[in-house]
């Protein structure tokens, strides 16, 4: 007998926990093969990933960034649509060069049969770029 699929809440909690514990190689399995992930406030990275291959590619490159993070104040809001959850939390962490940061996050995710099929991610990319010394790159991407 197969175990029941994770609930949307469980999938998102696993995603955030896996990011914080550096278990990035396992996380693409949380996404459907045709998943769409949109980074609504993304500037220096693709604003839309389509399919599990792009999710895996991003997570592979993130694994080399040297970031260490913990999630705080996680709240997962269930909605009237049983597939949709809204999660909000704060990452506190240290970059690969030792700069400490605190960044707010929010995602709206649709999870079907235990896999993320779509996600709209709202991360504080400017604060993360500042902590990683990438503000000039960010300013250049914005035309500044």
Instruction: Give me the domains of the chain, ranges plus CATH numbers.
Output: 8-141 (3.10.450.50)
CB atoms within 10 A of CB 128: 21
pLDDT at residue 96 greater than cutoff 90: no
132: DSSP letter: T
Q: Which pLDDT band holds residue 44 (cuts at 50, 70, 90)?
A: low
Both tokens of 67, joined, read 């970031």
Handedness of CA 108, 44, 138, 26 (dihedral sign): positive
pLDDT at residue 50 greater than cutoff 60: yes
* Average pLDDT rounded to a whole number, residues 15-24: 92
* Average pLDDT rounded to a whole number, residues 109-121: 97
């Amino acid at each position: 007998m197969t175990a029941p699929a994770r609930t949307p809440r469980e999938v998102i909690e696993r995603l955030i926990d896996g990011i914080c514990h550096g278990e990035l190689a396992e996380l693409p399995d949380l996404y459907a093969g045709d998943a769409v992930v949109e980074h609504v406030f993304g500037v220096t990275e693709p604003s839309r990933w389509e399919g599990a291959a792009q999710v895996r590619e991003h997570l592979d490159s993130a694994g080399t960034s040297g970031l260490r993070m913990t999630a705080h104040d996680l709240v997962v809001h269930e909605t009237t649509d049983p597939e949709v959850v809204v999660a909000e939390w704060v990452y506190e962490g240290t970059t690969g060069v030792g700069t400490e940061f605190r960044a707010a996050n929010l995602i709206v995710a649709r999870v079907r049969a235990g896999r993320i099929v779509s996600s709209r991610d709202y991360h504080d990319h400017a604060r993360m770029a500042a902590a990683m010394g990438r503000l000039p790159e960010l300013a250049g991407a914005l035309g500044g």
